[in-house]
């Protein structure tokens, strides 16, 4: 019996500490189990763009002997109807339940990316596409980032923190908001908050007034609207933009400068800098920080492969 029934959030992993240790073993020899996926197919469905998630999943499939099929459902598939009981005389050509059941006939695992529209908070909170796939598919489902969470990213982030923290004291981890040019989803930040609670760390979430995340994710974490205070003595600084949760999807003006620049790191000179990528250089973080020795951004991206491999290995 597979360890994972689905992979959509941290609660789907039985023992994160053990899983991270197993990832370290996978990383030492990624080609150690080339037959795990023999004769099996993973369907990778993308309703939105991707570089890291797409390629790391394909490479993980390759390392484990799976066949992978990429479906760019935003362009190449019929438009899905999500409502039950509809007279389908509108834009939806195929009901999502039919698509999920049909894909289950071809695939042994289905992985799906479905971003939020950031228009209606209640609708996005339902994570309808992901949950309808979980409901109707007869094979395990992996989230490649949904409207609410990005579990594969957070899993890789936790591995990156573990690998880069060898001291016996608890690290101070700061999740700081950064500017962006357009409204961005909450999924990476929500997920990061959920996963970091499972790690022994002092955690601070820093964001401007009006940008507090959904409290269901930040509950139990320290929250501040003062970035400079939060950054003091930080061991890890995770930088991410997100739109307003309160004024859902809006981007209220922020007076202070929240870009992470080299001069803001004077009181945390050894802090490791993290970002899920893609990053808007010199908008979210300046070049000097991103290109510094303390930036872990490419290590995080490399760990996407390792954690993807762990998930696939444990889901079949």
Pick the stretch among 49-57, 86-94, 214-222, 231-239 that binds ligand CP (CB under 6 A).
49-57
Please give the Cα distance from 61 to 91 (Å, whole number).
Answer: 34
Please give the Cα distance from 241 to 140 (Å, whole number).
Answer: 31
277 binds ligand CP (CB under 6 A): yes
How big is the chain, counted in residues? 316
Which one, 136 or 189, has the nearer CB to ligand CP? 189
70 binds ligand CP (CB under 6 A): no
Please give the Cα distance from 12 to 149 (Å, whole number).
Answer: 13
Q: DSSP of 76-101, one letter per residue?
A: TSPPEE-STT----SS--EEHHHHHH
Of the residues 6, 40, 52, 264, which one makes contact with ligand CP according to CB under 6 A? 52
CA-closest candidate to residue 32, choices 67, 69, 64: 64
51 binds ligand CP (CB under 6 A): yes
Which one, 153 or 244, has the nearer CB to ligand CP? 153
Which residues make beta-bridge pairs with 33? Answer: none
Pick the stretch among 59-67, 164-172, 215-223, 270-278 that binds ligand CP (CB under 6 A).
270-278
50 binds ligand CP (CB under 6 A): yes
Cα dihedral: 190, 291, 295, 255 (round 10)? -40
Pick the stretch among 12-20, 121-129, 262-270, 275-283 that binds ligand CP (CB under 6 A).
275-283
Q: Is 280 annotated as a binding residue?
A: yes
Q: Interaction with ligand CP in 146-175: which residues (CB under 6 A)? A: 153
Shortest separation between residue 278's beta carbon and ligand CP, angstroms: 6
Exposure b/e, 95-114, CB count within 10 A at least 16 = b: bbbebbeebbeebbbbbbbb
Shortest separation between residue 167's beta carbon and ligand CP, angstroms: 27
303 binds ligand CP (CB under 6 A): no
Shortest separation between residue 299's beta carbon and ligand CP, angstroms: 13
- Read off the tokens for 183: 């409204």
Please give the Cα distance from 288 to 304 (Å, whole number).
Answer: 24
Which one, 172 or 273, has the nearer CB to ligand CP? 273
State the residues that interact with ligand CP by CB under 6 A. 50-53, 145, 153, 276-278
């Amino acid at each position: 019996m597979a360890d994972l029934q689905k992979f959509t959030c941290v609660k789907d992993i039985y023992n994160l500490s053990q899983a991270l240790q197993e990832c370290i073993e996978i990383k030492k020899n990624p080609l150690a189990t080339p037959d795990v996926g023999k004769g099996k197919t993973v369907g990778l469905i993308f309703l939105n763009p991707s570089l890291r998630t797409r390629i790391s999943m394909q490479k993980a499939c390759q390392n484990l002997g799976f066949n992978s099929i990429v479906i760019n459902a935003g362009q190449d598939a019929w438009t899905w109807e999500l409502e039950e009981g509809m007279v389908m005389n509108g834009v939806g050509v195929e009901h999502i339940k039919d698509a999920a059941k049909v894909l289950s006939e071809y695939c042994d695992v289905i992985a799906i990316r479905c971003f939020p529209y950031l228009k209606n908070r209640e609708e996005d909170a339902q994570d309808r596409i992901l949950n309808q796939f979980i409901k109707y598919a007869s094979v395990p489902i992996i989230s490649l980032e949904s409207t609410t969470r990005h579990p594969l990213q957070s899993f890789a982030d936790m591995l990156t923190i573990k690998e880069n923290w060898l001291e016996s004291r608890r690290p101070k981890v700061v999740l700081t908001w950064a500017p962006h040019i357009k409204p961005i989803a909450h999924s990476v930040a929500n997920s990061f908050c959920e996963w970091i609670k499972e790690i022994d760390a002092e955690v601070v979430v820093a964001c401007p007034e009006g940008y507090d995340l959904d409290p269901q994710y930040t509950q139990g974490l320290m929250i501040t609207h003062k970035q400079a205070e939060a950054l003091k003595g930080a061991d890890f600084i995770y930088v991410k933009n997100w739109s307003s949760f309160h004024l859902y999807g809006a981007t209220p003006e922020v007076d202070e400068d929240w870009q992470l620049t080299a001069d803001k790191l004077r009181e945390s000179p050894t802090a490791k800098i993290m970002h899920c990528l893609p990053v808007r250089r010199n908008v979210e973080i300046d070049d000097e920080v991103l290109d510094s020795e303390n930036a872990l951004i490419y290590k995080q991206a490399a760990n996407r492969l390792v954690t993807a491999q762990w998930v696939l290995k444990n889901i079949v």
